[in-house]
Structure 1
Amino acid sequence: MVWDVLNVIGTIAFAMSGAVVALEVKYDIMGAYVLGLITAFGGGAIRNLLTGIPIIELWQQTTLFIVALITISIVILLPSSAVQLLTKWSIFDSIGLSAFAVQGAMYAQSIDLPLFAVMFSAAITGAGGGMIRDVLAQRKPIVLRDEVYLLWAIFAGFILGLDWLSKSYHFYILFTVTLILRGISHHYSWRLPIKSIQKQ
């Protein structure tokens, strides 16, 4: 049940995030659908490929595809002022990251992968779709910039990989904590250290 709920939450959030980015960079309607779907399913597809899960698993998520398409359509139909409001706090990106980080970690744990693999699965599921979206939108991927983003997905994977969680509500608490940490770091503009090389 937790798996399905997080799947739906992450799909809606990232489908909306991808569609909004497409509208921001002035892509057409098809571009909005492409970016929305890639953001929603890209991270899970990469995770499956890297953990040996057949790609056909992706195409068996008919309900989630329908949910994503409806979500993207709603974003397209919203007035521009409403779309701009949706982007103000980066909330959907944060929700998608948190939901898919926990879900990705749960997936890796269910097939008995070691701790580092659980952390990697959380990171790539939570951030992979957004990375592909940003590249297609010709933007620097948010996950590779100095903003604290990927760290929270790794944190969720670490907590889950330690086998500390057993009850259903534990996973929802982890999702909420990850979301709050991401929200706080975004609000206060927390940054990771940067080392740059100056050209001579």
Structure 2
Amino acid sequence: MAWDILNIIGTIAFALSGVIVAMEEDYDLMGVYILGLVTAFGGGAIRNLLIGVPVSALWEQGNLFTIAIIVMTIAFFIPSLWINHWIKWGIFFDALGLAAFAIQGAMYASAMGHPLSAVIVAAALTGTGGGMIRDVLAGRKPLFLQKEIYIAWTMLAGLGIGLNIVNGTAGLIILFILIVTMRMLSVSFQWRLPHRKLNT
């Protein structure tokens, strides 16, 4: 049940983030679908490649594809229902997707018996991979490489699950809330990792 809920939350949140970027770039309906789908499912595809799951496993998520397409269609044709809310709550929804997919990726790798390092990588790539593909296709600098602390919070999921610190539904809920909270705090207070630009 926890797995299904995380999948649905992440899929809806990231599909909507793909739609908003596509609409900002003035893409047509097909462009909206493509950008929304790669945002929602791209991270899982990259994760599957790296931890040894057949990419074809992605197509077994038929219900999630249906949910994503329905959400994107409504968002495209009736933007008045959600666009104002997205402007206010978009970063929060993105944080929900980040946390949900990071935990899901970590659970996936851990269930396959992979070591801690692989669980952390799976969490990071599942949480950020779709957004990375979205930004590259839209001709933008990937969000997680430039603003606030983003990818680092996904590693909390990898550590918590990979070290068996998090167990059971209650533990997953606490971890989910922690990641969302830390992501929102990093946005509110503009926390950033150390960075350096070379002047040549």
Q: TM-score range by the shorter chain?
A: over 0.9
TM-score (norm 1): 0.95
The one-character-per-residue Cα deviations of 1:147-178 (angstroms, maximum 9, x if unpaired) are 21000001221111110122211111111110
**TM alignment of 1:138-149, pairs within 5 A:** 138-149=139-150
Question: Size of the alignment, in residue pairs?
Answer: 199
What does residue 181 of structure 2 align with? 180
The structural deviation recorded for 1:79 is 3.3
1:56 is displaced (CA, Å) by 1.1
Map 1:24-173 to 2 at 5 A: 24-79=24-79, 82-89=82-89, 90-173=91-174
Q: Write the distance in 2 (CA, Å) between the matches of 1:80 and 1:137.
A: 23
**Where does structure 1 lack aligned partners over 5 or more consecutive residues?**
none
Structure 1 position 84, deviation (Å): 4.6
Q: CA deviation at 1:37?
A: 0.3
Q: Give 1:92 deviation, angstroms.
A: 2.0
CA distance in 1 between partners of 2:192 and 2:6 (Å): 27
Q: Is the 8 A contact 1:131 1:142 kept in 2?
A: yes
Report the AA paired with residue 196 of structure 1. Answer: K
How far 1:186 sits from its partner (Å)? 0.9
Contact 1:38 1:132 in 2 (8 A): yes
Task: Indicate conservation of the 8 Å contact 2:16/2:72, yes or no.
Answer: yes
AA aligned to 1:197 is L
Q: TM-score, normalised by structure 2?
A: 0.95
Stretch moving more, 71-80 or 163-172 = 71-80
Amino acid in structure 2 at the alignment position of 1:135: V
Moved more, 61-70 or 145-154: 145-154
Task: Look up the equivalent residue of 2:46 and give its one-letter code.
Answer: I
Consecutive aligned runs of 4 or more in structure 1 exceeding 4 Å deviation? none
Q: Quote how far apart the aligned CAs of 1:81 are.
A: 8.4
RMSD: 1.4
